[in-house]
Amino acid sequence: MNELNGKIAAVTGAASGIGLASTEAMIAAGATVVLVDRDERALNDACSRLGSRAIGLPLDLLNTEKCASLLDGILSKVGHLDIFHANAGTYIGGDLVDADLDGIDRMLNLNINVVIKNVRTVAPHMIERGTGDVVVTSSVAGHSAVPWEPVYSPSKWAMHCFVQTMRRQLLKSGIRVGSVSPGPVISALLADWPEENLRKAKEAGALIEPKEVADAIIFMLTRPRNVTIRDVVVLPSAFDI
């Protein structure tokens, strides 16, 4: 139960969904976690509930200056960083011709640019320490061109490529890099799903809980250091893609 005892982690998008479940699972395994999220109220609620090993860091990662301050913010609260879970993201589904242009920018910035910049920010700290784990929340949409996700799916394909390149770059520094690629997860992101798709998924039992994704993340983090789980796809058994 204490496989991450003494480890210090940071999770983005930590106040809800997969990020919150990942945080809860790491704390249950013995880690201290810095929860990074722009929703300060949800962040405070989560930290109050989770106890002293949950430390809130309110941060809007879409603000360029605040995004650049991520590592400084983490290290102002904890002594070092062992695990970084780049989880913050958003979703756009439906026909491209119906997509809001500003919404496209926001989604691509958060799902791609922020992840790359966050890893760029924390990597030198891990390189200096000679160890670390980076986990990126991707999606099954990064493995298959989902026709109703012409913006979201490409953003996750980009993350699949990014993880594979960074795994190779950081391996020599003792840092493991991997991604978790869930199918549909019961979370706020599903609010943007086409209503008919959501209805069918619910009726078919083709959804999973955030905790089931967090379980996979704990599996990745607790392998022997000579083992890297490069990418794990976590699907509802009834999900047809």
Contacts of 86 by beta carbon, 8 Å cutoff, 6+ apart:
12, 115, 118, 119, 134, 135, 136, 137
Strand, helix or coil at 152?
Answer: helix
Spatial distance between the Cα atoms of 26 and 10, rounded to a whole number of angstroms: 10
Burial class (CB within 10 angstroms; exposed 0-12, middle 13-18, buried 19+) of 131: middle
Active-site pick, 91, 152, 157, 162:
152
**How many CA atoms lie within 13 Å of 241's alpha carbon, on the beta-carbon side?**
24
Helix (H) or strand (E) holding 56: strand 54-58
Q: Is residue 152 annotated as a catalytic residue, yes or no? A: yes
Spatial distance between the Cα atoms of 31 and 29, rounded to a whole number of angstroms: 6
Contacts of 195 by beta carbon, 8 Å cutoff, 6+ apart:
none
Burial class (CB within 10 angstroms; exposed 0-12, middle 13-18, buried 19+) of 103: middle
Spatial distance between the Cα atoms of 55 and 32, rounded to a whole number of angstroms: 8
**Active-site residue set:** 152
